[in-house]
Amino acid sequence: MSLSLSPPEPLSVGSYQALSRSPEHSISILEKTEPTGFRSPCSDYVKPSLDLNEYLVRHPAASYYFTIDSQDCEIATIFQGDKLLVDRSIYAGHGNIVVAVVDGEYVLKHLRFNHGCYELHSDLDYIAPLIYNNAAEQQLQTWGVVTAVVRKLKV
């Protein structure tokens, strides 16, 4: 599965955009408590708003989001239309979902370390893992680590 870092193509995962810190992206949080007697006038208190960028983004200058355009995602928990938050400053570790560069194309895979080798795995059983070791001619290049998935639910 390819990720396009240029304008989206029909078979691509999508394009990426830098995150903005604009106030229109915040959501108010309501705190509800159970009444135990006389209702207080303060019971409808609205807590400060939830800023999704503040909540999800650890490194704003190195964070981007991708939109999944394809129905053929190889990661079971990621679907068409999802937004992936990708952080380029995080060290990619065992078990992370990463955006990697393979033969000049961007792919979305699980990163695993096994017997001194880096492996990129799909959740689909019929797709063999991509294996990289120090002797391999190919070098594994991770573009970033997926740190969050944002999904709109159908209602």
Question: What's the pTM?
Answer: 0.72
pLDDT greater than 80 at residue 96? yes
Q: pLDDT by residue (tens digit) across 29-76?
A: 555 555 566 666 655 665 677 788 888 989 888 888 888 887 778 888
- As a whole number of angstroms, the distance between CA 78 and CA 84 comes to 9
What are the distances in angstroms from CA 95 to CA 1, 19, 84, 133?
A: 18, 25, 16, 17
Q: Delineate the domains of the chain, giving CATH numbers in brackets.
A: 16-21+57-150 (2.10.109.10)
Q: What is the pLDDT of residue 148?
A: 94
CB atoms within 10 A of CB 100: 21
